[in-house]
Structure 1
Amino acid sequence: MSAWLLRLRARVAALFRSRGGKAAAGPRRNPTTPGRLRRMRWLLTALFTALTAACLLVLATVAASIDSHSRDRELDDTVNRVVTGLARVVYWNEEGAVDLEALRDDDLAQGDSAVVVLSLEEDGKWHEKYGHLRSELPQDLSAAAARTALSDDTVISTMTNRSGDRIRVASAPAYDADYTVGAVVFAGADPAPSQRDHQRLVLALEFGGLGLIALAALIGHVLSGVSTRPAVRMLAEQERFLADASHELRTPLATLRLYLDAALRDPDDTRRAVTEARELTDRMGRLVTGLLARTRTETGVGELEVERLRLDQLVEGVVAESGVAGIEVRSEPTVVQADPDLLALAVRNLIDNALVHGGLPIEITVADYAVTVRDHGPGLDPELADPFEHGTKGPSGRYGIGLSLVQWVARAHSGSVAIGSAPDGGTLATLTLPAPPQL
Structure 2
Amino acid sequence: MRPSPAVARLYRVRWATTLLFAATTALCLLVLSVLAVRTDARSRTNDLDNDVSRRADGLARTLYYDAGVLNLNALAEDDLALSAERLAVIQAPAPGRPRIRHSPTARAALPDQAGLDDIWKQVEHDQETVFVATEADGREIQWAASPVWDGDRIGAAVLVGADPAQSQAAHNRLVRRLTLGCAALVLAAAAIGHLLSGRAMRPALRGLEQQEQFLAEAAHELRTPLATLRLVVESGSTSATRAPAALDEAVRLIDRLGRLVTGLLARARVEAGTQKIELTLLRLDQLTEQTVEELPDSTGVTVTTEPTIVNGDPELLAQAVRNLVENALRHGGGTPVDVSVTPGRIAVRDHGPGVPAEDRKRVFERSVTGSDSKGTGTGLAIVRWVAELHNGTARLSPASGGGLLAELLLPPHTSS
For the superposition of Structure 1 and Structure 2, which TM-score range results when normalised by the shorter chain? 0.7 to 0.9
**C-alpha distance after superposition, 1:350-375 (max 9, x if no partner):** 46556775757643112xxx233355
Compared CA separation, residues 217 and 437, structure 1 to 2 (3 A): farther
Question: How big is the shift at 1:208?
Answer: 2.5
**Aligned 8 A contact 1:294 1:408 in 2:** no
For residue 156 of structure 1, the aligned residue among 128, 131, 139 is: 131
- Aligned partner of 2:70 in structure 1 is 98
**Aligned 8 A contact 2:336 2:351 in 1:** no
> Which amino acid letter does the alignment assign opposite residue 331 of structure 1?
P
Q: TM-score, normalised by structure 1?
A: 0.77
Identity %: 38
For residue 391 of structure 1, the aligned residue among 371, 385, 396 is: 371
> Helix, strand or coil: the match of 2:371?
coil
**Aligned 8 A contact 1:120 1:126 in 2:** yes
CA RMSD of aligned residues (A): 3.5
Question: How big is the shift at 1:171?
Answer: 1.1
- Aligned partner of 1:232 in structure 2 is 205
1:109 matched to 2:84? The reply is: no
> Which amino acid letter does the alignment assign opposite residue 392 of structure 2?
G
Structure 1 unaligned residues grouped into runs of 5+: 1-27
Compared CA separation, residues 96 and 50, structure 1 to 2 (3 A): same
C-alpha separation between the residues in 2 aligned to 1:436 and 1:53?
62
C-alpha separation between the residues in 2 aligned to 1:279 and 1:306?
25
The within-5 A match list for 1:260-409 is 260-298=233-271, 300-307=272-279, 309-310=280-281, 313-316=282-285, 318-319=287-288, 321-322=290-291, 324=293, 327-331=303-307, 336=311, 339=313, 341-350=315-324, 362-366=339-343, 370-374=344-348, 377-378=350-351, 381=354, 383=356, 385-386=359-360, 388=364, 391=371, 393=373, 401-409=378-386
**Aligned 8 A contact 1:136 1:188 in 2:** no
**Aligned 8 A contact 1:90 1:100 in 2:** yes
C-alpha separation between the residues in 1 aligned to 2:229 and 2:338?
26
> Helix, strand or coil: the match of 2:394?
strand
- Aligned partner of 2:117 in structure 1 is 142
Compared CA separation, residues 218 and 434, structure 1 to 2 (3 A): farther
Compared CA separation, residues 352 and 382, structure 1 to 2 (3 A): closer
Provide the aligned length of Structure 1 versus Structure 2.
396
C-alpha separation between the residues in 1 aligned to 2:143 and 2:159?
7
> Which amino acid letter does the alignment assign opposite residue 130 of structure 2?
V
**C-alpha distance after superposition, 1:40-65 (max 9, x if no partner):** 22221221111011011111111111
Question: How big is the shift at 1:287?
Answer: 4.6
Question: How big is the shift at 1:85?
Answer: 1.8
1:412 matched to 2:385? The reply is: no
Compared CA separation, residues 147 and 391, structure 1 to 2 (3 A): closer
Structure 2 unaligned residues grouped into runs of 5+: none
Question: How big is the shift at 1:149?
Answer: 3.5
C-alpha separation between the residues in 1 aligned to 2:32 and 2:413?
60
Compared CA separation, residues 426 and 35, structure 1 to 2 (3 A): closer
- Aligned partner of 2:227 in structure 1 is 254
1:430 matched to 2:399? The reply is: no
**Aligned 8 A contact 1:114 1:187 in 2:** yes
> Helix, strand or coil: the match of 1:185?
strand
The within-5 A match list for 1:165-180 is 165-176=139-150, 178=151, 180=153
Question: How big is the shift at 1:434?
Answer: 5.6
- Aligned partner of 1:194 in structure 2 is 167
C-alpha separation between the residues in 1 aligned to 2:219 and 2:309?
39
